[in-house]
Amino acid sequence: MFARVYSGALAGVDAYRVEVEVDCCGGIGQVNIVGLPGAAVKESQERVRSAIKSCDYLLPPAKKWVVNLAPADTRKEGPAYDMPIAAGMLASIGYIPAHNLSKIWMVGELSLNGNVRPVSGVLSMTICAREMGAEGIIVPEDNGAEAALVEGIKVYPVSHLQEALNVLERPENGKVFWGTTKHRYKSMVSDVVSDLDFRDVKGQSLAKTALMIAAAGRHNLLMIGPPGSGKSMLAERLPGIMPPLEYEEAVELTKLYSVAREVNKANALVVNRPFRAPHHSASIMGLVGGGAVPRPGEISLSHYGILFMDEFTEFPRTHLDSLRQPLETSKVTISRAMQTLTFPAAFVLIAACNPCPCGYKNDTVQSCICTPGQAMRYWSKVSGPILDRIDMRVEVKRLSQNDMLVQPAMHERTKWMRETVQAAIERQRNRNIFDGKFVYNANLNHRQMEKVCAMPADLKSYLVSSAHKFAFSVRAYDRVIRMSRTIADLKGHDEIEKLDVCEALGYRTQNFGI
């Protein structure tokens, strides 16, 4: 007898339908799995046998099962097919009815006693199931909140194989999980409170202003200064002045984190804007993503958030050069022999480093002991193309005695900074709408810039002469214009003024001996 059960498989952050076809024929009790199964999938036959036994079903000894995972030309990895294989085997011998198998998808790992364990990528599979017209999906109980983020499909969380079989027999008796919906999301976001405040950082007014520009327009920033000047403290507080995630952004992030197995089971939806700070000893795979079963790296996990690279010059040059494509296209493409996958990577790069190996070049208190050759080798890891993609360079100086004693002003505190940034973003939302989508200033293309960043002829001539003077590339020239637009938005200007352009040039032209 033949049975077909529907499940899902991951391709990057998206999923596609897998048809688990089971044919029962005469044999000696074997279970043969075909369709490019990985090692974990091949081993599922033993888990499935024990799980079925735990449900008090007796498999006929003189039968053989052939399980085909279609499409057969894509490799299937992981234990997520245990539950659909078990259901298909039981349906093929008539132990459970087969009429609901075409309407309800299944995904989940089975333990030997029949318990259902969570798997990764359930949100993507649920979205795929809804798009393919499924009425419901059976998922592990720990993945229920995650799957229920998808509206328009019934989610049946189960903790044991027997519960899944009961749902297939009579779906109306199954427990449907209703999770976080869009109208509940606002209350969840309002409960997110950060303990980090910019008032904890004394002085550094220029760096705080630069971080506001970065938050408002999504511009990249490099902070250079001696050890202990506050670079890391400043970067850690940046998410606090950025607006909360939109619901659609939160769902997209949850999809990404589910694939990376970083979803919090207690609260499936990602509500905090990401702040990723990989160590400079991280591997290229950990930073960019990849592996035998490609998963997103730190670059993609910082999507819609911050990628903070402390000790920027200590990262290997190959690691830094891998940022070129994501900084330009907001995505990272991983090419392998069998497949090419694309992960989203729309992040703000905040980098921090010392001005030289000893850390005290141009310091007002401690003398630098580095030779010119050492300083040159120190900066040689950072290529010109990477520096060209960083909009702002800011010096974070050692605090003076007055800075240590004076309390930060009101405009240097997180609450005021967040309100100012939010007002600038609202100005962008009312203006930067193209093809029905909102675009931050830093992501404007050339045609969009012509519409949004118009300048008088004399101001444009001044900017062109400045770009020639400082040997800007065309990319750097465009980035100065975008940054000028963000500075104008923070000041409440409808048009870009000369002071806005001068301020943008000031952030761009500081090199500190680079």
DSSP 142: G
pLDDT (0 to 100) of residue 295: 86
Distance CA(216)–CA(214), nearest Å, equals 6
With beta carbons less than 8 A apart as the criterion, state whether 508 and 391 touch.
yes
With beta carbons less than 8 A apart as the criterion, state whether 22 and 4 touch.
yes
Distance CA(233)–CA(215), nearest Å, equals 16
H or E element that contains 20:
strand 14-26
**Identity of the amino acid at 395:** E
SS3 230: coil
With beta carbons less than 8 A apart as the criterion, state whether 162 and 144 touch.
no
From residue 98, how far is each of 22, 50, 165, 173 by CA, in Å?
12, 22, 11, 17
With beta carbons less than 8 A apart as the criterion, state whether 120 and 15 touch.
no
pLDDT (0 to 100) of residue 292: 74
With beta carbons less than 8 A apart as the criterion, state whether 443 and 483 touch.
no
pLDDT (0 to 100) of residue 340: 83
Where do the CATH 3.40.50.300 domains begin and end in the chain?
191-433
| HEC assignment per residue over 278-314 | CCCCCCHHHHHEECCCCEECHHHHCCCCEEEECCHHH
pLDDT in tens, 173-225: 888 887 666 667 777 776 666 778 888 888 888 999 999 999 999 999 999 99
Distance CA(203)–CA(205), nearest Å, equals 6
H or E element that contains 4:
strand 2-11
Label residue 293 by pLDDT band (50, 70, 90). Answer: confident
Where do the CATH 3.30.230.10 domains begin and end in the chain?
2-173
State mean pLDDT over 12-27.
91
Class of domain 2-173 (CATH, top level): alpha beta
Distance CA(447)–CA(18), nearest Å, equals 42
Distance CA(431)–CA(496), nearest Å, equals 14
Distance CA(229)–CA(398), nearest Å, equals 5
pLDDT in tens, 484-504: 999 999 999 999 999 999 999
Distance CA(348)–CA(304), nearest Å, equals 8
With beta carbons less than 8 A apart as the criterion, state whether 76 and 38 touch.
yes
Distance CA(433)–CA(451), nearest Å, equals 11
299 has pLDDT over 90: yes
pLDDT in tens, 102-159: 999 999 999 999 999 999 999 999 999 999 999 999 999 999 888 988 888 999 999 9
Distance CA(470)–CA(472), nearest Å, equals 6
Q: Residue 472 CA to chain centroid, in angstroms? A: 31
Distance CA(183)–CA(178), nearest Å, equals 13
Q: Which of 469, 464, 502, 468 lies closest to 483 in space, CA to CA?
A: 502
Q: Which residues pair with 156 in a beta bridge?
A: 138
Q: Which residues pair with 221 in a beta bridge?
A: 350, 392
Pairing of strands 2-11, 14-26: antiparallel
With beta carbons less than 8 A apart as the criterion, state whether 419 and 243 touch.
no
- Percent of the chain, pLDDT > 70? 95
Q: Which of 155-164, 187-196, 367-376, 437-446 has the lowest mean pLDDT?
A: 187-196
State mean pLDDT over 379-394.
92
Pairing of strands 136-140, 116-117: unpaired
State mean pLDDT over 39-54.
92
Q: What is the CATH number of domain 191-433?
A: 3.40.50.300
pLDDT in tens, 69-107: 999 988 899 999 999 999 999 999 989 988 889 999 999
pLDDT (0 to 100) of residue 334: 86
SS3 157: strand
H or E element that contains 107:
none
| HEC assignment per residue over 321-335 | HCCHHHHHHCEEEEE
Distance CA(345)–CA(347), nearest Å, equals 6
State mean pLDDT over 10-21.
92
284 has pLDDT over 80: yes
Distance CA(83)–CA(89), nearest Å, equals 10
